[in-house]
């Protein structure tokens, strides 16, 4: 059973499952752990209204009068495709998920947005301060980043779209610093899509935060230059993966994933990247994902020399760049953000095909039109279904070539053009 107890009532041997109030206020970046002696003082002094403990995983409350919390209603399930590959380090603690402020309706959404804005503002301050520290010859404060990535992991677990969209709307002069926060968020999101462990999710997020740290050695005037870079300037920019690696390897306690992504996020599966021209399986999964998240955020952000692309324009371009990205991981990434190239045909796990329609706006997820049965190899009454997460929903499994099922491009185009006449069906919400 779960109990709410006062911070001063916490004892060694209890198992903490959460904290009352804002997840930004309690002193830990993880929120599910067994209480040890080293935690006790900080827990008892925590500025939170209560702490949730679980007596099935640790000792119970010290007061017999403490009533248990009523069981929570079943939560909406998360769809996580099976993927057995794992490139994270074994061992280490598992960062837990902190909960967004409780509430209902618009108030809960407003609270989530406010907390997200607070997190983004704090992230900006941390990244600016870190760049200044490094330029002054000081070391990286790893503890600060461990706490920050824990908050990103938590927020991305509960309201990923809010966090992603908030960061995407960064100002041009914030790009260098918030770009790393955006990449961390996207890395966390796609790691969960791939079914990675909570420890790996945390390490992928930390890798995203540090992937561009080498740009600290590039002058801001070059990073923000509106025109084309000179050869000398371009060489300085291209040196940032190695520069970042040199900075990070002097920081004790960093997981291998952070060093890997920092050094290799500009490599390509076809071997045409830099700094080493590595190709194929020579690149780890986390490095290949880092490249995808890095480019996507760059494309969808306002820069000194370009305006932001819409998410659908960005993924459409990326899908069309042959050899630059791992196709399987790119599809998983698109799956994680709920955005696919318009006109792509997707296979569902219930033997149906769906056509990707244009989103209703730049900030919306793609819309899907279910129109074909692969079991009977025949057309179905076309129904538009939203991409979402719902219990019992069908799942997107893979992109397909409609010609494999005898469907011509003209049929898909006709379905796309007619889609405006169809209304959204209540059953059949698709799990993204």
| Distance (Å) of CA 352 to CA 39, 269, 334, 395 | 52, 32, 20, 10
The encoded tokens of residue 135 equal 């330029």
Q: How many helices (H) and strands (E) does the chain have?
A: 14, 10
pLDDT class of 242 with cuts at 50, 70, 90: very high
Closest CA to 240 of 211, 260, 268: 211
Domains and CATH numbers, the chain: 2-54 (no CATH), 106-336 (1.10.3210.10), 340-431 (no CATH)
In sequence order, the 6+-apart residues with CB closer than 8 A to the CB of 309 are 299, 300, 317
What is the three-class DSSP state of 386? Answer: strand
Residue 21 has pLDDT above 70, yes or no: no
**For 378-387, what is each residue's pLDDT tens digit?**
888 888 887 7
What is the three-class DSSP state of 128? Answer: helix
Residue 347 has pLDDT above 70, yes or no: yes
- Cβ atoms 139, 133 nearer than 8 A: yes
Q: What is the CA radius of gyration of the chain?
A: 23
pLDDT: which is higher, 94 or 78: 94
Closest CA to 303 of 159, 174, 133, 116: 174
Residue 276 has pLDDT above 90, yes or no: yes
Q: Average pLDDT, stretch 198-222?
A: 94
Distance CA 142, CA 248 (A): 10
pLDDT class of 427 with cuts at 50, 70, 90: very low
Residue 101 has pLDDT above 70, yes or no: no
Four-residue CA torsion sign, 287, 288, 292, 298:
positive
**For 279-333, what is each residue's pLDDT tens digit?**
999 999 999 999 999 999 999 998 877 889 999 999 999 999 999 999 999 999 9
pLDDT of residue 68: 66
pLDDT of residue 94: 42
How many CA atoms lie within 13 Å of 126's alpha carbon, on the beta-carbon side? Answer: 22
Residue 190 has pLDDT above 60, yes or no: yes
pLDDT of residue 410: 66
Least confident window among 18-32, 86-100, 237-251, 256-270: 86-100
pLDDT of residue 97: 41
Q: Average pLDDT, stretch 92-117?
A: 59
Q: How confident is the prediction for the chain on average, in pLDDT? A: 81
pLDDT of residue 393: 62
Max mean pLDDT range (7-16, 33-42, 79-88, 258-267): 258-267
């Amino acid at each position: 059973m779960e109990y709410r107890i006062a911070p001063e009532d916490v004892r060694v041997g209890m198992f903490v499952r959460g904290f009352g109030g804002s997840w930004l206020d309690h002193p830990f970046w993880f929120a599910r752990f067994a209480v040890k002696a080293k935690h006790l003082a900080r827990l008892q002094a925590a500025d939170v209204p209560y702490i949730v403990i679980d007596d099935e995983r640790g000792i119970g409350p010290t007061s017999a009068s403490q009533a248990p919390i009523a069981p929570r209603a079943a939560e909406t399930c998360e769809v996580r495709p099976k993927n057995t590959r794992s490139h994270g380090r074994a061992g280490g603690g598992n960062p837990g998920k902190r909960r967004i402020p409780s509430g209902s309706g618009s108030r809960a959404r407003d609270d989530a947005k406010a907390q997200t804005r607070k997190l983004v503002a704090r992230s900006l301050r941390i990244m600016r301060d870190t760049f200044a520290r490094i330029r002054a010859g000081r070391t990286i404060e790893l503890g600060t980043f461990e706490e920050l990535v824990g908050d990103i992991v938590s927020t991305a677990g509960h309201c990923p779209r809010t966090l992603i969209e908030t960061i995407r709307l960064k100002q041009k002069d914030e790009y260098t610093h918030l770009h790393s926060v955006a990449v961390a968020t996207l890395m966390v999101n796609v790691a969960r899509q791939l079914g990675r462990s909570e420890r790996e999710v945390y390490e992928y997020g930390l890798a995203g935060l540090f992937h561009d740290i080498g740009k600290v050695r590039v002058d801001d005037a070059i990073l923000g230059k509106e025109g084309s870079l000179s050869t000398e300037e371009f060489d300085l920019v291209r040196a940032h993966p190695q520069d970042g690696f040199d900075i990070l390897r002097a920081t004790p306690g960093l997981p291998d994933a952070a060093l890997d992504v920092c050094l290799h996020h500009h490599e390509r599966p076809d071997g045409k990247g830099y700094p080493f021209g590595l190709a194929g399986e020579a690149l780890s999964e986390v490095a290949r994902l880092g490249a995808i998240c890095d480019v996507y955020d760059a494309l969808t952000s306002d820069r000194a020399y370009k305006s932001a692309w819409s998410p659908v324009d960005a993924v459409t371009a990326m899908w069309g760049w042959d050899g630059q990205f791992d196709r399987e991981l790119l599809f998983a990434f698109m799956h994680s953000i709920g955005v696919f190239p318009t006109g792509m045909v997707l296979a569902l796990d219930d033997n149906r095909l769906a056509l990707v329609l244009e989103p209703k706006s730049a900030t919306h997820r793609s819309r899907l039109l279910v129109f074909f049965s692969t079991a009977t190899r025949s057309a179905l009454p076309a129904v538009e279904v939203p991409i979402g997460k719902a219990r019992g929903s069908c799942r997107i499994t893979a992109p397909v070539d409609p010609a494999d099922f005898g469907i011509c491009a003209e049929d898909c185009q006709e379905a796309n053009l007619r889609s405006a006449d169809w209304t959204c069906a209540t059953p059949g919400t698709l799990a993204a």
